Each structure stands twice: as structure tokens, then as C-alpha cells.
Structure 1
């Protein structure tokens, strides 16, 4: 399915490719831009001239902020990132986290509200009220992206969300009716992968993996610079990725899966079952860092599981980089050496060292990922599903 949306119109395919290259990688000199797109100097001049005349691209001083300026053709080209703003929402079971971003996904405002009901119309009402509040401050708001945990169909309908107890909720339509803005809805992990591919750790990479650790385990794969869509991306793949068949049980009886070993609820459950104490994840990490035996055992076991999981992904996918993200990657600060030792032990001795980047993500990062969906709709002109 392909749906038309508000976009950079009218742009030819060549002009669009130039504009996207500058948006994602700029500011760029004309020489760099021609090399990246394999264009002659004459072709590049033909494509960039209408973009500059329209104000979509501007000439900027070397290393300076984007500004309209008369200058020599050798000056780098850039977009005016502040010319439009975008709204991203991350919806959890009890909160809505909102951010406003520039065209380059830089967060310029945050707004959070408690979610006291899961009734779809009332959730849409809350999202619309938050949008109205932010529109008053940012009249250039152009589109809305919404990230939710679960199955999302056609980037519009929440087919299934266990966190919200939703089934077949037309969330995009409900919010569009209330705001008048184009809305795109996506699985939250998929949204985060898109953001990191366009503007983050995966920018410019051909093969890239995002692995998230938090309430669950999320996975996203980028090949050829584009996120690979697959039927199970809305499902928690970690429930079925067995790392230790003799490992710990989750509250629902799973043994030794990535979820049972690594997710925050499972780690907290293991400590509670062993000690009777209901500790936060941060408290468990602090105890492990201080050498408390039970916390150290659980965290070291989680670290070995993470190292094994990263090694398995690396051995099969051969990525240029793996990004570890989510609320649970504080594990690396406490037991990173265990992760690294396990990773090396599970890979060929002559394997190229793996580039592993760690990013502790809060819910505003997930909301930023949703905003990038709205940026993509503007830039690409379609919602591709």
C-alpha cells in the first residue's frame, strides 16, 4: 500500500535525491554531493538551481549554521533545519511522551502527559490536546509520528498492542481527524531504527543492526541502507531466541530466552524471587557494581547472554555496526567486560572486530524516532508499507 502525504512538492526524482542527501549528510560541498550521487558538475548544477531558488537548499559558510547568503558556488549546501518542525509521540501503558524536532530530528521541546485510560478515542483526545499545546509554540508543525509497542498495519492501524490492550484501532485516522495534520503510526522499535538509520548511529552504513533492551527485547536490521521489514518485527523476537535452555524462568514460564535473561522485568523478577525484595533495575545494577552476590550473579548472567546474542547476530548478519539501545543498556556500564569477553569467545579468532555502540535511550528518544517517521513522509511524499 502506498499513501500520498504532504511532501516536498513538486520535486523531480533527481532533485529529491539531492535534497535527501543534503538533509541526511549535509552540509555538503557541491564536489562531495556530485561524488556521492555520481553526477557530473553540470547535472548537479541543473538539479540544485531550482532547490536553491525555492529556498529548500541554501548556501552556508563552511561549518556554519544554515542561513540564506550570497556567495561563491563553492560554498556548502544545506537545508534550513528549523524551517519546519515535527511532532513525535511514544505511547506507553501509562504515559505519553512527546517531542518536537527540527527537520534534522534535533529535539527542541518535550511534553509528557500521564495516560489514565486506554480507550482509543480518549487517547486520541490526549494526543490532540498535546498537539494543540505544542502548535501554539511551534506554528511550523508539519506532521505527527506515533510509536507504539505492537503490531501496526499500513502505518495507520494498531492491529494489536498488548501494552494498550488494543486490537484494530485506526489511530492515525483518529488523530488526523482531531489535529488536521498528517499522521503516521509505526511499531516503536521500527521507528527507532529509522531514526538511527537517517540521523544517528547507522547513518551512511550499508549493514546495521539495532538491538534494544528494556521492557522487552527489540531487533531491527538495515541492509543496503534501508530497514528490512518483516512480518515478525512487531513481535518480541527475544521470547523465541533461546540463549541458555537451562537459564532462568520468566513469570510466564519461559526458560533461557533473550527476554528471560535480559529484559528489565525478568531481571527484577529473578531478584524478587530469590530475595523477596522488589528492587528497581537501577538498584540492582548498583548492587551488582558494589559486589552484592545475588545481584552480581543475575547481572553477570545477563551480560553473558547479551554477549552471546550480539555474537550470534554478528556471525550471521556481518553488520558494520550494532547499536545497543534502550533503558536496559546500563548493563554495559556494570558488566561490559563480561559482554565483551563473551562476544569474543563466540566469534572466530580472526573475525574483524565488531563496532558496538551503546546508547542509553529514554522514552524521548523513542518519541524522536516517531518524529523521524513524519519527516520521512514529508521528504519522500509517500507512506510505504
Structure 2
């Protein structure tokens, strides 16, 4: 994926994005989505085909329909990328192809939260995956890093509460060590990209993502585009009030999404009731066995989750929600309660909300970071005029 003469136009970039997400996709569908004539579509796709980024796939034509159509798809082996998901404790990485399909993965525990230590961990992961895949020099096209917090221009981590960071030029630091382009993104945004590309909602042009884990996250896709604002990364979905009699979150909000659904809060609630510390897996095991105190906590979480999904469906006007995150196992003991709560807060004549549960763990987050790197590589690509 080298450079050529002219910067890619917005239309060419949109074409590349659609083929990445939806390929193999017919030219007729691409023309409809982009508002392009067949001639314009041919002109825009030609450089991608000539440089081996796109391929034409054969599609048999119905009897008497003339020549078979040739849908466009990406050549998945045209580049290799690494995506890294950073948490407060670990760095989880995935090596992917051009469609963000996972080829290998690796994980490292963070020694501490010092910037230099985290950079060392990410660099080590990238080198480990490159060596395992026997990548030649120049074969790695880019690295994406997702992080819980705020990111400016996909270059600087302006705020990362789980790491205690402010204004860290992480992309520059990593590029100086790795010698390849690096793109940063908020982790929930990157996960939403992952769900759009290859998750259970792939092909749906409007859906929401709710993540349950160390915190509570919310992502949104509208008109086939991931929605971001300057406040993306603040975790505003975690402040949504859900239960007026619930516990307080760290910011003093009673019964908000973070207080009701985050792993630390759920563990703290049952721990207080039992008079001892409990792990998240123990909370779920006790609830599954019918322990009354554990069931009380997980049932309250289920009702809160259902209400949150109803708010999202009602206000964003989506009927598909993907539930993900390291705490998604809550669904096993509270899913029915959540669905009942969701139904209560919806108009009975409203379209039923489809809930997909993505339990792939950090692999989806890391592949989302890789997808961000792929998008960044395409944005920087220069094509012949």
C-alpha cells in the first residue's frame, strides 16, 4: 500500500469504505449507495483494481440475463495490520488482513501505567505478531490502538482514566519505534467499527452498541456510518439514569448505567451484602445457582440494562442493538429480565428490538482497532489522478 500521485477523493474513499464493509458488493448497489453513474464508478474503481486492492468476483447471471455481474471485493491479503486494545491492566493485540479478519493474537500484562512501559508493551506485541506471521519488512501496513477515553485527531490521547493519562502523543511515540503509521481511537468507537464490519449486525445500516465491563459504553451507527462527536470518549452513556433507588456511581449519580451495570459496581453491591469481596464470575455463578442476594443484584442490573436499551431504541430510533464487553456474561443470568424490561419501556406496536450478544471478548476490540488502522491507511492512500 504505497503512495502515488493524487490524494484520494472523498468519493473514492467512500467507495473503498463500502467495499471493505459490504464486499463482495455489486456495482449496481455501490452506484445506488454512492449516487454514482456506472461510468463514474468504473473510473473510481479502476485504480483500486490496478493496484490489487480490489478484485472482481464472479457471480453467475440468471438464464437469459446476459453476462454475469462482477461484484467488487477487497483483496484481503493486500496488507497486514495490527490492532491493539488497551485496558488498565492489559494490552490485547490481533494481526489481521485488509478486512480485519484475525490471523493471530497475543496479550501482555501492563507492568504499570507509565507511558514508556505501555509503549514498550505495544511495541513488543507488534513485533511478536510480526515474527509469528513471518512478516517481511514493509509488509505491516499500519497499527491501530484503541483506548478507553478521549482521542484527538487519532494522534493524541487527551484523557484515559483507566491509565491516568492526559495529553499523551501516543501515535508519535509508537511510530518512532515501529516505523509504520499508527492510528488511535476511542475503544467503544473502534468496537462499533468492528461490529459494523464483521459483527452480528453487519449489513444493518442503523444500530447501537452497548458495552458492559469496567465501565459502560455506547456506540451508534446511523446511515451506515459510525457516529462520533467531540465528546466521544467521555462515556456519557454511562451516566444515563436508570434506577432512582440504585447505588451511587463514582461521580455521585444514583442508579446510573455505570452504577447499575459496571463490573466493579456489581461486585461491590454483592460484596457489601455478603460482607466480603467477590469476583465478577462468582457473582454470576451465585446468581445462576439461585442465591437470593446475587439474584437481587443481577435482576436489578438486568432491569437497568433493558431500560437503557429501550431508551436507546426509542430516542435513536434503531431496532438492532449489539451487547458486548468483558461483562457481557451478565446476559446469561439477566437476559430474560433485560428483555422484559426493554419491552415494558417500548410502545407495544413498535418494531421489536433485536439484541445480538457478542461474546468474542477482547478479540473484537482488537480487530476494531485494526479496522481503524485500515481506514487510516486508506485515508492516506494516494491514487493516480
Q: Where on the TM-score scale, by shorter chain, does this alignment land: which range? A: 0.7 to 0.9
Q: Are the counterparts in 1 of residues 59 and 68 from structure 2 also a CA contact under 8 Å?
A: no
Q: Are the counterparts in 2 of residues 328 and 360 from structure 1 also a CA contact under 8 Å?
A: no
Which TM-score applies when normalising by structure 1? 0.88
Q: Secondary structure at the match of 1:167?
A: coil
Q: After TM superposition, give the deviation of residue 61 of structure 1 in Å.
A: 4.1
Name the count of aligned residue pairs.
Answer: 370
Q: Flag the 1:210–1:114 CA change in 2: closer, same or farther, 3 A.
A: same
Q: Flag the 1:300–1:7 CA change in 2: closer, same or farther, 3 A.
A: farther
Q: Verify: 1:112 aligned to 2:112, yes or no.
A: no
Q: Flag the 1:251–1:275 CA change in 2: closer, same or farther, 3 A.
A: farther
Q: Flag the 1:327–1:7 CA change in 2: closer, same or farther, 3 A.
A: farther
Q: Secondary structure at the match of 2:166?
A: strand
Q: Flag the 1:286–1:356 CA change in 2: closer, same or farther, 3 A.
A: same
Q: After TM superposition, give the deviation of residue 330 of structure 1 in Å.
A: 1.6
> Which residue does the alignment assign to 1:228?
227
Render the CA deviation track for 1:335-376: whole Å, top value 9, x for unaligned: 211111111111111111112211124222211111111011
Q: Are the counterparts in 1 of residues 302 and 338 from structure 2 also a CA contact under 8 Å?
A: yes
Please give the alpha-carbon distance, in whole angstroms, between the structure 1 residues aligned to 2:86 and 2:150: 14
Q: After TM superposition, give the deviation of residue 201 of structure 1 in Å.
A: 4.1
What are structure 2's unaligned runs of at least 5 residues? 61-66
Please give the alpha-carbon distance, in whole angstroms, between the structure 1 residues aligned to 2:355 and 2:162: 30
Q: Are the counterparts in 1 of residues 283 and 294 from structure 2 also a CA contact under 8 Å?
A: yes
Q: After TM superposition, give the deviation of residue 150 of structure 1 in Å.
A: 1.5
Q: Are the counterparts in 2 of residues 56 and 80 from structure 1 also a CA contact under 8 Å?
A: yes
The correspondence of residues 326-365 of structure 1 with structure 2, limited to 5 A, is 326-365=325-364
Render the CA deviation track for 1:188-214: whole Å, top value 9, x for unaligned: 111112222344344444432111111
> Which residue does the alignment assign to 1:22?
19
> Which residue does the alignment assign to 1:66?
none
What are structure 1's unaligned runs of at least 5 residues? 64-71
> Which residue does the alignment assign to 1:135?
130
Please give the alpha-carbon distance, in whole angstroms, between the structure 2 residues aligned to 1:307 and 1:357: 13
Q: Secondary structure at the match of 1:100?
A: strand
Q: Flag the 1:6–1:51 CA change in 2: closer, same or farther, 3 A.
A: closer
Q: After TM superposition, give the deviation of residue 51 of structure 1 in Å.
A: 3.2
Q: After TM superposition, give the deviation of residue 12 of structure 1 in Å.
A: 4.8
> Which residue does the alignment assign to 1:172?
171
Q: After TM superposition, give the deviation of residue 43 of structure 1 in Å.
A: 3.9
> Which residue does the alignment assign to 1:67?
none
Q: Flag the 1:7–1:259 CA change in 2: closer, same or farther, 3 A.
A: farther
Q: Are the counterparts in 1 of residues 194 and 365 from structure 2 also a CA contact under 8 Å?
A: no
Q: Are the counterparts in 1 of residues 17 and 375 from structure 2 also a CA contact under 8 Å?
A: no
Render the CA deviation track for 1:48-96: whole Å, top value 9, x for unaligned: 4443333222233449xxxxxxxx7634332211221111111122211
> Which residue does the alignment assign to 1:271?
270
Q: Are the counterparts in 1 of residues 105 and 129 from structure 2 also a CA contact under 8 Å?
A: no
Q: Flag the 1:317–1:30 CA change in 2: closer, same or farther, 3 A.
A: closer
Q: Flag the 1:15–1:130 CA change in 2: closer, same or farther, 3 A.
A: same
Q: Flag the 1:17–1:313 CA change in 2: closer, same or farther, 3 A.
A: closer
Which range moves more in the overlay, 138-147 or 47-56?
A: 47-56
Q: Flag the 1:54–1:361 CA change in 2: closer, same or farther, 3 A.
A: closer
Q: Verify: 1:324 aligned to 2:326, yes or no.
A: no
Which range moves more in the overlay, 117-126 or 308-317?
A: 117-126
Please give the alpha-carbon distance, in whole angstroms, between the structure 1 residues aligned to 2:167 and 2:340: 45
Render the CA deviation track for 1:228-260: whole Å, top value 9, x for unaligned: 222332123245322122112457754311111
Q: Are the counterparts in 1 of residues 216 and 235 from structure 2 also a CA contact under 8 Å?
A: yes
Q: Are the counterparts in 2 of residues 193 and 210 from structure 1 also a CA contact under 8 Å?
A: yes
Q: Flag the 1:372–1:6 CA change in 2: closer, same or farther, 3 A.
A: farther
